[in-house]
Amino acid sequence: MRRGEVLGMWKAEFPASNRYYEEEDGILYCGDNVEVLKQFKEESIDLVVTSPPYFLQRWYSAKSEEEFLSMWSFDKFKVFAKELYRVMKQGGVVVWVMGDQTIDGSEVGEPYKQVLYFKEECGFKIWDTMIYKKAGIRYPDKDRYYQIFEFMFVISKGVPKTVHLIQDRINKYVGKKVRDSKRLVNGDVTITKLDKTTDYFGVRHNIWEYKAGYGMGSTDKEAFKHPAVFPEALAKDHIYSWSNEGDIVLDPFSGSGTTLKMSKIMNRGWVGIDIGKEYCDIAIERVKKAENIKKTMLFKV
């Protein structure tokens, strides 16, 4: 059998209804993500890399605030979160990329509400709170420090079953002896000298910087017909970090298809869900472009 035929065997386990597009290694559903997820079998997804709506910052395909809130609200999120926990495999990881919104002079706090609901009501672990630092900024406020980040919450169903930490940070003390210090609960500090020297490259910190905006996060011009596109490199790095080839990667807010495209390039099975037909069409264009992109173009770690 060819690789694609082996990889594509998993698709028979996923619902046939609402399939808007499919290839041998992926499925795109056009519909309400809660209703689609309800049809998935338990523990069928290895990894989620997604970015949900940021409260009321954008209406996406809705024509009014009322219509948007009928499609996505905190009450809808709560149902979605329980379904997401159900379909994640034990050890599966969800990367939840989200920013906040300021209304009447105060940040809304929606990212905190959602991640705490994932933990306290669904049973996920908050494995890491990472930061997506943008290389550029929007037009800044005059009375606040310039806003250049979004959260990347890494939550997991139990302990992550797959971890590939990217090591591309040049260490400051290359070649020097390693020592470990720890402050005890009584305030004392213990220092342990380890029998090893510092390597040239170390594990990344958990603040990742990417270029964002038109023409920078992707060379696919059609991607920017969507109002909120995150960088391809962000998706690529998380797919590498938390999954293996042949794993199933889901984006339940697939939008312009960034996660789907990068999953395809990296030999993962991909599943996307989006309620907007116009965004599904953009995602299809981008997934088709990935056909001729070779995995050797990606960095090696």
Which segments of the chain belong to CATH 3.40.50.150?
3-166+204-291
CA triple 259-264-265, angle to 5 deg: 100
Q: What is the per-residue pLDDT across 133-161, written as a single tens digit (0 to 9) for each?
A: 988 776 677 888 888 999 999 999 999 99
What global pTM score does this model have? 0.86
Least confident span in 18-27, 141-150, 182-191: 182-191
Q: What is the per-residue pLDDT across 70-83, written as a single tens digit (0 to 9) for each?
A: 667 889 999 999 99
Least confident span in 51-55, 224-228, 296-300: 296-300
Q: What is the per-residue pLDDT across 28-41, written as a single tens digit (0 to 9) for each?
A: 999 999 999 999 99
Q: Which CATH number fits domain 3-166+204-291: 3.30.70.2740, 3.50.30.50, 3.40.50.150, 3.40.1190.20?
A: 3.40.50.150
Name the more confident of 199 and 129.
Answer: 129
Is the Cβ–Cβ distance between 114 and 77 less than 8 Å?
yes
Judged against a pLDDT cut of 60, whether residue 226 lies above it is answered with: no
